[in-house]
Amino acid sequence: METKGTINIDGMNIPIENEKNILEVIRKAEIELPTFCYHSHLSTYGACRLCVCDIEGMGIQATCTIAPRDGMVVKTNTEEVRKIRKINLELLLASHDISCPSCARSNNCKLQDLTRRLGVEKVRFKKNEKLEPVDNQSWSIIHDPNKCVLCGDCVRVCKEIQSVGAIDFVNRGSKTCVAPAFLKSLKDVECVYCGQCVSVCPVGALIPKPETEDVWKAIHDPDKYVVAQIAPAVRVAMGEGFDMEVGTNTTGQLVAAMKKMGFDQVYDTSFSADLTIFEEATEFINRKLKGERLPQFTSCCPAWVKFSEQYYPELLPNLSTCKSPQQMFGSVAREILPKLLGIRPDQLVIVSVMPCTAKKFEAKREEFIHNGIPEVDHVLSTEGLGRMIHETGIQFKKLTPESFDLPLGFKTGAGVIFGNTGGVSEAVLRFAYEKLTGETLLDYDFKMVRGTDGIRRAELELGNVKLKLAVAHGLANARQLCEDVKEGKSDLDIIEVMSCPGGCIAGGGQPVSFDKDFREKRTQALYNVDKQLQLHKSQENPYVKELYQMTLGEVNGEKAHELLHTHYHGRKRIVDQQITIRNTEQPKIEVCICVGTNCFLKGSQHLLKQMMDYVTENKLEDIVGFEGQDEMVDVKATFCFERCDRGPIARVNDKIIEHATFESVREALDEEVRRVGKKLSKTT
């Protein structure tokens, strides 16, 4: 690494080696300056003013905002610097809702930690007593503005890493807050529920929505049989909540703890990850050999799926139709466990333990609820299960490890590495190699898809088939690949997308870590688990093979599609918004035309004008034979019917018209006028 001079920090000469600011050089000197708003992978903001130091010739400055230069002299701990830091921290405390004993972040809060570190014993500023409403309407994330310290971390990660921008600074001056546009709930805006805002929030302003009480209620109900599935990434993060080293594999302790808590069976989502590979890799091979709907995007990440539904509905046919491993597990468990366990179907309660906040939203999607019964009843985050274990008093570190229950607890290494970015692609390659070459794969590591680059590309030959693939983590990187596909610039065959940087190991439901290498440590831990298992390819899982023989039939067959596949749809971004073009006093018929982007590009604005002209210039009473019928029709522009791939979309009262034309909408309107007109004529 090239040295570009030195900085004198508290009397020590520290070399400058491509650090982008003074703060990073100071940390290299083993001095941990306090900061709320600095993350090396985000843009520099300099809001909290806690990393201030005395820089010779410049005075007191925030070190995160100043590039290092040779010859600088920096003092990190003068009397004036200490006073300024304490004042800034007191100001934050004065505007913060200090409910520490009941706060979800009480044992892992930067504000608490810095208050102790800096020796703040009292707050000399007037407390802000006005409390704002807490947004707990989404299934995934709770937003409490009263705990926000305005560090801007959540705003920047949402914009810069995810390219979503669902939240931002609102208002000015003392009224400034972080919120969605127009102070709406997170459930009503473009939030994809990835939870990266939760991961970077230094306090408890953003937390995963808990479902712990619902799970306790099920466990305590003697008529319920409660089973759980544990995602791969959970096992390498749970230990952090019990003072264990980052990346410690706690599989055995997790199973033992959950059995003690009252779960009747504990299974492994890695089993259904193996199952996913059977379906998704076969689907991909079929598409590749036929040259249809390529590139195929993976569909395991629910935040990515919602992102594509919102921003790229035209690419939805390219997504794999496979459900995620969480939902595959739920579907299979509902199908086989009642008979296997000797219980009634209505007794079975399925709980997921996931590293992901978006999984909570996924479990509540209408596609995964059948006859009022969800495939997965409750989703606990890693952090949520940790709180439950703490509540019981179980000594997690001292537990004798136990093993997963069979058959849904058996897995191969391919299923385990799903938790890492590149893991799905590698598992697919381990499967596809043997299918396409007819040879046994001995060297099962495909390291070209591993790594931390935001977008990674690889080319390889499997027999006579040449494959080009890409792996993206972080939705801003996924957006780049989507744009290439839209513009016809992509020659890729398969694209893996994970919303969270690093993959599920850094999901929004994982314990918040301040270890700068936490992603790398968790990632390596999953690869270590793969190495320690006897089987490394999904097609080697004997219990998945048995599931096909006994229940599913052929891979990608009719029964497999019924239980393991789904569909996706365009998703509106503006909720309950309509523009009335023609308003009557007592409308009996409502004509709505979508003017959202996709429908607009397909001619919906012209269609809207045509329908308006038809209603106002034609004598609709001629259709039913008496006057006044044109006055009973309202014409409105709306923003979405969530069917962007089938636009333009129109609605005449309750009838939805896809690929709408003037003729089809006029015909539907005339029919509705006749129907309503006949009713009116009978009453007059």
| Tens of pLDDT, residues 295-338 | 999 999 999 999 999 999 999 999 999 999 999 999 999 999 99
Query: In this structure, are residues 288 and 467 in contact, taking their beta carbons and an 8 Å threshold?
Result: yes
- Do 121 and 34 belong to one domain? no
- Do 172 and 95 belong to one domain? yes
178 within domain boundaries: yes
| Cα–Cα dist 418/426, whole Å | 9
**Tokens, residue 179:** 């919120």
Among residues 504, 592, 594, 640, the one annotated as catalytic is 504
Please indicate whether residue 359 is annotated as part of the active site. yes
Query: In this structure, are residues 510 and 237 in contact, taking their beta carbons and an 8 Å threshold?
Result: yes
Among residues 80, 245, 367, 671, the one annotated as catalytic is 367
- Do 15 and 106 belong to one domain? no
- Do 219 and 288 belong to one domain? yes
- Do 275 and 320 belong to one domain? yes
Give the pLDDT band of residue 620 (cuts 50, 70, 90): low
Please indicate whether residue 585 is annotated as part of the active site. no
Please indicate whether residue 339 is annotated as part of the active site. no
Four-residue CA torsion sign, 486, 283, 299, 377? positive
**Which of 77, 108, 138 is the C-terminal boundary of a domain?**
77
CB-based burial of residue 542 (10 Å sphere; 0-12 exposed, 13-18 middle, 19+ buried)?
exposed
pLDDT at 627: 52
Among residues 283, 309, 375, 426, the one annotated as catalytic is 283
Q: How many folded domains does the chain comprise?
A: 4
112 within domain boundaries: yes
Q: What is the rounded (10 degree) CA torsion for 488, 490, 494, 495?
A: -100
Please indicate whether residue 516 is annotated as part of the active site. no
Please indicate whether residue 154 is annotated as part of the active site. no
Among residues 280, 540, 590, 672, the one annotated as catalytic is 280
This prediction has a pTM of 0.82
The 10s digit of each residue's pLDDT in 396-443 is 999 999 999 999 999 999 999 999 999 999 999 999 999 999 999 999
- Do 533 and 654 belong to one domain? no
Please indicate whether residue 320 is annotated as part of the active site. yes
Among residues 110, 209, 359, 588, the one annotated as catalytic is 359
69 within domain boundaries: yes
The 10s digit of each residue's pLDDT in 433-453 is 999 999 999 999 999 999 999
- Do 438 and 323 belong to one domain? yes
82 within domain boundaries: no
Angle subtended at Cα 234 by Cα 232 and Cα 239, rounded to the nearest 5 degrees: 135
CATH number at residue 445: 3.40.950.10
CATH number at residue 589: 3.40.30.10
| Cα–Cα dist 684/680, whole Å | 6
Among residues 199, 272, 320, 381, the one annotated as catalytic is 320
Q: How far is CA 492 from the centre of its chain?
A: 24
The residue behind tokens 């809060």 is 109
Please indicate whether residue 300 is annotated as part of the active site. yes
The 10s digit of each residue's pLDDT in 20-77 is 889 999 988 888 888 888 787 787 777 788 888 999 999 998 898 889 999 999 999 8
The 10s digit of each residue's pLDDT in 191-222 is 999 999 999 998 989 999 999 999 999 999 99
- Do 71 and 95 belong to one domain? no
Please indicate whether residue 2 is annotated as part of the active site. no
**Which of 541, 564, 587 is the C-terminal boundary of a domain?**
564
- Please report which helix (H) or strand (E) contains residue 278, including its range: helix 269-290
The count of residues in the chain is 684
| Cα–Cα dist 300/320, whole Å | 9
Among residues 103, 300, 482, 640, the one annotated as catalytic is 300
- Do 347 and 453 belong to one domain? yes
- Do 511 and 491 belong to one domain? yes
| Cα–Cα dist 444/464, whole Å | 19
Among residues 19, 362, 426, 540, the one annotated as catalytic is 362
CATH number at residue 51: 3.10.20.740
Domain with 41, as residue range(s), is 6-77
